[in-house]
Structure 1
Amino acid sequence: MTEEQSRISEPFSVEINASVALKLAQIGQKHYPGTSSGPLYGFDDQEERILNISHIINFPNQHTSGDDVFNTKSSNAKFQADFQTKLNDSKIGVKLLGWFMTATKGKQNRQTVVESMLRLQKKMIEEQKSTLPVIFVIYDPSKSTDSLLSLQVLKLSDAFVKTWNSEARFAARNLIDNRLTYRNIFEEVPSKIRNSNLTDLKIQELDVNSEYGNELELTSNYLKITTQTSEQLIDAIDNFNHNLGNFNYFQRSLSRELTKINQWKLRAKQEHLDHLKTDPTAEEPELDWKEHYKLPQVPSKYEHVVSGGLLSSLCNNVSTTGSVEHAKTTGIQKSLNL
């Protein structure tokens, strides 16, 4: 393990320019209740272990659901490379730090996201000798209806990276040894928003509605996001059950092969006992079942872990949204003396 790889797991923090937070809110509002994603650019301080996010831009031709919203197709890769070139040509020496997504929390549990972060991490270590992890920012625009800035900075957990880099990878025993489950694929990173004088001036220009009392207002946004989340939940359940079916098939195949091996050993042992009756000096042969049988390959639990994380987050989103709407309807019912 190189020095850079060993320092990746050390604590670090993230600073987000206020202009980036405002642009995230703008992108989220534009695509809500759909999702949008794009690259993060900024600066890194290797000594102080601080990442500063200074620029973002969303990928063009975004889809509203599924893995297509964040993918590794060549057009997206070229788009983010061209944008970084423009920034560098403008004497802004930023680097690619990771990606963002505007969606309800938990939607980052996608194989496309995980594998893109791993590839970028490897590239940064090899080419830039970076000791800071790749980050992923997720902004939840649905919370803006409650006047909240729901912004979370994540990195791949040390348990996940250790499992990925190990020889056994996602074998069941290796997951247990590294304490990796669908709950800890990602780790949250401490972050803060840095304001600037220009941003202060921009905020002062905003027309803030001073009227209050709309906390109990029912909106169609929650219905849209709940409907979309429910559809994605059905797809996630189907994918989870498909992976579970593969494991069940492996267990049945393994059980059949082990039964055959045990029967073969018993027959070989009985044949040796029968042979001893005619030749008491006969030596017992070595029973190497591997020459006659081959056990089925143990399936990787990688897809199962990621799909489990997505399934868990979608269930939490449906539960949380339902609780909020239930509280609103209860408040309205009481206010109307129904």
Structure 2
Amino acid sequence: MSTKTAIQKPSTAAVQLDASVIFKIANPTAGNGPVYGFTDTDADVLHISKAFAFPNSAQHENYDNFTKLKSNVRFTSDHAEAFKRAEDGVEFLGWYLTTKTAGRFLTTQLVDSLYHQTVKNSSTLLLVNNQFNTGNDLNLKAYRLNESFLKLYSNQEERFVTKNLQENKLNYDNLLVEVPVAVHSNSLASLSAARAPAHLATVAASANLVLNNKHESIGNAFDHLLDQIDDLNHDLNNFNYFQRNQTRETTKIKQWVKQQEAKGADTNWEKSGQFKLPYEPSRFENYVIGNSIRGTCADLYGECEAELLKASVVEKSL
């Protein structure tokens, strides 16, 4: 009996945000929260018209379980029910989050929440407001889960082992798929920005907001990166332990087979019941951590690129 969950293929080609949503998310204290809107199935465009911050989310940069907290789940469903009663025509489409920790927002719990919501609605997405190295621009991106990842995650008969990851071409760089973002009512946003407080200065034609937010220091970002590498090494140690046990058992099996061949006896080691190869541990956490490290490194490189170029020029001139 198959245990594979049927998932509709994600078809969203672009995301359109109302200007009001941009202002909501662009606030340095926006925190995390649900987003609502509707899907234009003819054009494969996802329209995000409403966003709400979870209570107290601005004070707690909690990426581990903010999608699973009972109070947040109730908050999300209450708003969805209110829109349904009002016949507003919008539905829950995912979450936005604000990160100040150099790309470190991906966790297994967040990925699991995205998966289960995608099963319910294939248009589910994650909006990420990256405040680490934006300078004066709003760095807002939309992501959905990789279709190959969804298929593997939905099939309980398969596992996140090396072979399956390779067959599905899943690596440290493709857990999330970026979806292009556009802004609706951009002229209205520009007019509103001119009257906005200091932390929202202007909206350019490209829909980038100028923010006066402060991001964490490069030193702290490297500390976060080292923490992620520690997590990755811990997971790799478990995998290396499996490999050592597998090598040990495989050597024993080969020796036993040779002895059986010399005796002219049955060489089927599985039927003998004397050996049992260890199961390969799941590489799911390794996969998520690898994607998270990639995001952190990309942010650090973006922040340090100018300084690296200056250092390179100085070195060449010496």
Q: Same-fold call, TM > 0.5?
A: yes
In structure 1, what residue type is equivalent to 2:136? S
1:179 pairs with one of 161, 169, 185 = 169
Instruction: Tell me how many residue pairs correspond in the alignment.
Output: 295
Aligned pairs (5 A) from 1:60-71: 60-62=55-57, 64-65=60-61, 67-68=63-64, 70-71=66-67
Match of 1:57 in 2: 52
95-104 or 189-198, which moves further after superposition?
Answer: 189-198
Compared CA separation, residues 260 and 112, structure 1 to 2 (3 A)? same
**Do structure 1's residue 121 and structure 2's residue 118 form an aligned pair?**
yes
* Structure 1 equivalent of residue 184 of structure 2: 194
Deviation at 1:299, TM superposition (A): 1.3
Kindly state the Cα deviation for residue 253 of structure 1 after the two structures are TM-superposed: 0.5
Identity rate, percent: 29
What CA deviation, in whole Å up to 9, does each residue of 1:125-174 have, x standing for no partner?
A: xxxxxxx4311111123455x33121111111123223323443322122
Report the equivalent of 1:307: 289
2:161, 2:65 → 1: CA distance? 30
CA contact (8 A) 1:37 1:59 kept: yes
Q: Is 2:95 aligned against 1:99?
A: yes
Q: Does 1:154 align with 2:151?
A: no
Tell me, in whole angstroms, the C-alpha distance in 2 between the residues paired with 1:240 and 1:76. 29
What's the RMSD between the two structures over aligned residues?
3.2
Question: Aligned equivalents of 2:233 and 2:133: distance in 1?
Answer: 31
Deviation at 1:103, TM superposition (A): 1.5
Q: Normalization by structure 2: what TM-score?
A: 0.80
The whole-number CA distance in structure 1 between the counterparts of 2:214 and 2:295 is 19
1:287: which partner in 2? 268
Helix, strand or coil at the partner of 1:243: helix
| Contact 1:66 1:232 (C-alpha < 8 Å) held by counterparts | no
Which amino acid in the other structure matches residue 14 of structure 1?
A: V
How far 1:245 moved relative to its partner? Answer: 0.3
Distance 1:227 1:55, change over 3 A: farther
Query: TM-score by structure 1 length?
Result: 0.76
1:135/1:153 contact within 8 Å kept:
yes
Q: The residue matched to 1:155 in structure 2 has which SS?
A: strand
Partners of 2:270 and 2:87 lie apart in 1 by 67
SS at structure 1 position matched to 2:173: helix
Q: Distance in 1 between matches of 2:110 and 2:255?
A: 47
Alignment of 1:130-169 (within 5 A): 132-143=122-133, 146-166=135-155, 167-169=157-159
Query: Which is greater in Rg?
Result: 1
Counterpart amino acid of residue 95 in structure 1 = E
Q: CA deviation at 1:195?
A: 1.0
Query: 1 CA distance for matches of 2:190 and 2:214?
Result: 29
Deviates more, 1:303-312 or 1:197-206: 197-206
Q: Which residue of 1 aligns with 2:78?
A: 82
Say which SS state the counterpart of residue 138 (structure 2) adopts.
coil
2:301 to 316, 319, 335: 319
Larger helix fraction of residues = 1
Which of 250, 257, 263 is the equivalent residue of 1:265? 257
5+ residue gaps, structure 2, are 203-211, 313-318
- The answer to whether structure 1 residue 48 and structure 2 residue 43 are counterparts is yes
Aligned equivalents of 1:176 and 1:295: distance in 2?
21
Cα drift, residue 294 of structure 1 = 0.9
Indicate how the Cα distance of structure 1 residues 238 and 54 shifts in structure 2: closer, same or farther if over 3 A, else same: same
Question: Any conservation in 2 of the 1:261–1:289 contact (CA below 8 Å)?
Answer: no
CA contact (8 A) 2:67 2:73 kept: no
Alignment of 1:221 onto 2:214 = yes
1:79: Cα distance to partner? 1.5
What is the CA distance between 1:287 and its match in structure 2? 2.9
Do the aligned partners of residues 25 and 69 (structure 1) sit closer, same or farther apart at CA in structure 2, a change above 3 Å counting? farther
Q: Which ranges of structure 1 fall in alignment gaps of 5 or more residues? A: 125-131, 211-218, 274-283, 331-338
